[in-house]
Structure 1
Amino acid sequence: MNIVMALFLGIGLSAASGFRVFLPPLALSIAALNGVVQLSSDWEWVGTYPTAIVLGIAAIVEVLAYFIPFVNNMLDSAEIFLAPIAGMFLTASTLSMAGDFDPAFVWTLSIITGGATAEVVEVGTSITRLATTTATAGVANPIVSVVEVISSIVLSILAITLPLLTILLVTIILIDGSRRILRFISRRKQRRKMKKNDN
């Protein structure tokens, strides 16, 4: 696998981890176990049964926890930090499939691409959940959770099988996520101005 496709694979999995942290690593682990992807010797542990089992349990717990009202909002707060870490490690692992590069290069590129991608997606989904929680008292949150789980699974599968197509989808997702984040920041600034004017 060349470095461009390896990077696209990593970015795709990183975007998926912005929806659910543990599903993309699980997908990569299963793919490695079945010989769909060939990880480097440094990352062979990802494609082992113990790793797949641990990730599987973590993924199930994460998916189910997001269906519990208000717990999902707390998880969002935690995954704002966990998602970029997952994206960074996922991208580093896929870049290793393209060759033996300088670690500084690999990790820098992984932080800039994988970490940032996962963070934008995660923050965007957190804003959506916060909005639905406010508007529906959390009633609509399970619907959001289902969409996020499906998005994470589909993106993970596409990233592994069709990385070039995935990067196009990720671009659209990042544009949408960035707009939501900027809109959220703008609204908060407006509210602060209104409060100052009221005082």
Structure 2
Amino acid sequence: MNDLISMSTIFSLFLGIGLAAAAGFRIFLPLFVLSLAVKFGGSFINLDESWMWVGSTPALITLGVAMLVEIGAYYIPIIDNLLDTIAVPLAGIAGTIAVGITMPEMNEVATWALAIIAGGGTAAAISGTTAAARAVSTTTTAGAGNFLVNTGETFSSIVLSITAIVLAPLAFIFVLIILYVCYRAYKSVRKKGDQLLAEEL
């Protein structure tokens, strides 16, 4: 029980959720930042032993290349919208991993259950909202506004990833704010959809 409420566990959870939220904007960027932190930051990142390879040079290079390809692909018209069709489930997986590997103190079942709910859920919610925003931008601006949406997503992922590593509690606060904004956006879109449906009937 003490493991569940220890400060170390809480900080690990904040770190994982911060990285998971960042994965909702860009899947590989937070994993690359985590890899950098593990490789050069030493022991202040508390990972599960079986995942310490994340800080290896091959992992760092692989994640770095994947990150650059993903970021670049979002600036290619049509490709960005195609990526959104697979981004939500992939972000959910990345978010789950981000939480699961940064909480080595809890038992495995509890860790991965929490990782799926908190990490995967957070990443998927944010990814779904950004995909919807890009779809609206594509429709209303013929794709011209997607550059700003994509840049904002990448910037948000960078800020969240670094904040999660350096100051995890602050990252958690950012995540709560982002989730609230996502909820309000969902409510607004749903309300407009109901109004349009009512007008058609």
Tell me the TM-score normalized by structure 1. Answer: 0.92
CA deviation profile, 1:31-67 (whole Å, cap 9, x unmatched) = 0001152423111111111111111111000000000
Aligned to 1:73: 81
Aligned to 2:36: 30
CA deviation profile, 1:48-104 (whole Å, cap 9, x unmatched) = 1111111111100000000011211111111011001100000001112xx2x2211
CA contact (8 A) 1:127 1:180 kept: no
Matched, 1:2 2:8: yes
How far apart in 2 are the matches of 1:85 and 1:185? 26
SS in 2 for 1:67: coil
From 90, 100, 105, the equivalent of 1:92 is 100
Aligned to 1:162: 167
Aligned to 2:4: none
From 46, 62, 70, the equivalent of 1:54 is 62
SS in 2 for 1:68: coil
CA deviation profile, 1:169-198 (whole Å, cap 9, x unmatched) = 111100001111222233333333433x2x
Amino acid at match of 2:72: L
- Quote the RMSD (CA, aligned, Å): 1.3
Amino acid at match of 1:95: M
Aligned length: 193
How far apart in 1 are the matches of 2:193 and 2:93? 27
How far apart in 2 are the matches of 1:142 and 1:156? 21
SS in 1 for 2:144: coil
Amino acid at match of 2:16: G
Matched, 1:142 2:147: yes
Consecutive unaligned residues in structure 2, runs of 5 or more: 1-6
Aligned to 1:21: 27
SS in 1 for 2:77: coil
Amino acid at match of 1:18: G
How far apart in 2 are the matches of 1:6 and 1:61? 29
SS in 1 for 2:102: helix
How far apart in 2 are the matches of 1:82 and 1:193? 35
Aligned to 1:181: 186
How far apart in 2 are the matches of 1:186 and 1:113? 27
Tell me the TM-score normalized by structure 2. Answer: 0.92
CA deviation profile, 1:133-180 (whole Å, cap 9, x unmatched) = 111000110111111111101100000000011111111100001111
How far apart in 2 are the matches of 1:62 and 1:102? 33
Q: Percent identity?
A: 41
